[in-house]
Amino acid sequence: MSTTFQLDTSTSRANPTPAPMKRLTVPELRQRKADGVTQMPIVMLTAYTARQAQLLDAHCDLLLVGDSLGQVIYGLASSVPVTLDMMIAHGAAVVRGSYHAAVIVDMPFGTYEASPEIAFASAARIMKETGCAGVKLEGGEAMAATVAFLIRRGIPVMGHVGLTPQAVNVLGGYNARGRSDAEAETILADARALDTAGAFAVVIEGVVEPIAIAITQAIACPAIGIGASAQCDGQVLVTDDMLGMFDRVPRFVKVYENIAETIGSAAARYAEDVRQRTFPGIEQTYQPRKI
């Protein structure tokens, strides 16, 4: 059971719900895939704020507090500069704004790669300070021992293979991965290593479709695709991308709304009201006393 907070939109305050509510759990989501088949695909979106989480929560199985907040929220060039403090602050907000979905928080670059012990210290802080259900980290065979170390110590882990944004400086960009036989074999081996280590799910990002399908069929845990294949066990997108908040989005993103245009239009109408002095005010009730 999980006590959460709901955002009162009239006051912008987060208030405790009157009774604890049951969230989806990591074991429940892991069990969605049985004998290599996931009957009900897993729905996952990113969330960075309490209000965003509140709006997405009823429709999602998983909410990912992604380190993509570096670009989406902070205007950074990549996710590499994102800090642990950033992830914890936003992770706690998303947990407060949700009650149904399991919340997973990305471990930012530099907080887990050096050793399993350092990874545990970072992950334990995330879990304690946010109340999330688990963490996500990038890397395959190189991180498998760390994944197993965390899981044995009570921290659920989601893996991430293929196009790994934190390694953009090594990869040389955000191009699709798995085009060569050697690279495809490496990505498949990475996913298998994470599965064997005990990851409850693996994100497959930016991988050519035949490889994504092969990975989905090869691992026992759910494979969550992003720019991979509709045949994965679930899908994740950056919410701001699929809402049309940016002029440019990855080619694989289906844009469901044009929220940027809506916001721009509303701001323009507001600006016109202010400049024309037609902005509505509070009804005048004060009457000066006659002398």
pTM of the model: 0.87
Q: Which of 14-23, 32-41, 103-112, 278-287 has the lowest mean pLDDT?
A: 14-23
| Res. 19: pLDDT tops 50 | no
The predicted structure's pLDDT at residue 46:
98
Is 113 part of the annotated catalytic residue set? no
* Residue range 72-124, pLDDT digits in tens: 999 999 999 999 999 999 999 999 999 999 999 999 999 999 999 999 999 99
Exposure of 276 in the CB half-sphere (CA atoms within 13 A): 9
* Residue range 144-187, pLDDT digits in tens: 999 999 999 999 999 999 987 776 666 655 566 657 888 889 99
| Res. 141: pLDDT tops 80 | yes
Using an 8 Å Cβ cutoff, are 190 and 139 in contact?
yes
| Res. 291: pLDDT tops 60 | yes
Q: Which of 26-30, 231-235, 278-282 has the lowest mean pLDDT?
A: 278-282
Provide, rounded to the nearest whole percent, the portion of the chain with pLDDT above 90.
75
Q: At what angle do helices 209-218 and 181-197 cross, to 10 degrees?
A: 30
The predicted structure's pLDDT at residue 279:
74
- pLDDT, the chain, mean: 89
- Average pLDDT of the segment spanning 42-46: 98
The predicted structure's pLDDT at residue 188:
94
Residue scoring higher pLDDT (286 or 113): 113
The predicted structure's pLDDT at residue 1:
38
The predicted structure's pLDDT at residue 280:
73
pLDDT tier at 2, thresholds 50, 70, 90: very low
Catalytic residue among 205, 209, 257, 261: 205
Q: Which of 82-91, 144-153, 189-198, 281-290 has the lowest mean pLDDT?
A: 281-290
The predicted structure's pLDDT at residue 163:
81
- Average pLDDT of the segment spanning 211-234: 95
Provide, rounded to the nearest whole percent, the portion of the chain with pLDDT above 70.
85
